[in-house]
């Protein structure tokens, strides 16, 4: 008697084909599956703090740094140290 093949539940989302192709292209660029990309988008949108599920800390710090180009490195590092102290209390 052969083992019955396990079937996975499949979820199907239907939406605009232009949006679907955009999600597929973005997923290919990031090297992830489209479902994973959608999960990340939902997690980011509904996450309570936004910093709790940072996947790549180097990219996150680079994005922070890009947002504060007008500040010197010492000021930026001082802000990070202040934030770290406030989190450890």
In the numeric block, which tokens belong to residue 15? 């939406």
What pLDDT score was predicted for residue 29? 94
Alpha-carbon distance of 60 to 54, in angstroms, equals 7
In the numeric block, which tokens belong to residue 71? 């500040």
pLDDT exceeds 60 at position 50: no
pTM: 0.41
**Nearest 5°: CA angle at 72, between 66 and 78?**
95
Q: How confident is the model at residue 1 (pLDDT cuts 50, 70, 90)?
A: very low
pLDDT exceeds 90 at position 47: no
């Amino acid at each position: 008697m052969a083992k019955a093949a396990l079937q996975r539940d499949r979820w199907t989302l239907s939406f605009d084909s232009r949006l679907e192709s955009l999600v597929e292209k973005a997923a290919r660029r990031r090297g992830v599956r489209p479902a994973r990309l959608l999960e990340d988008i939902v997690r980011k949108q509904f996450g309570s703090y936004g910093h709790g599920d940072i996947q790549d800390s180097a990219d996150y710090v680079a994005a922070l740094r890009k947002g504060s180009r007008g500040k010197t490195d010492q000021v930026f590092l001082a802000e990070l140290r202040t934030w770290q102290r406030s989190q450890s209390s």
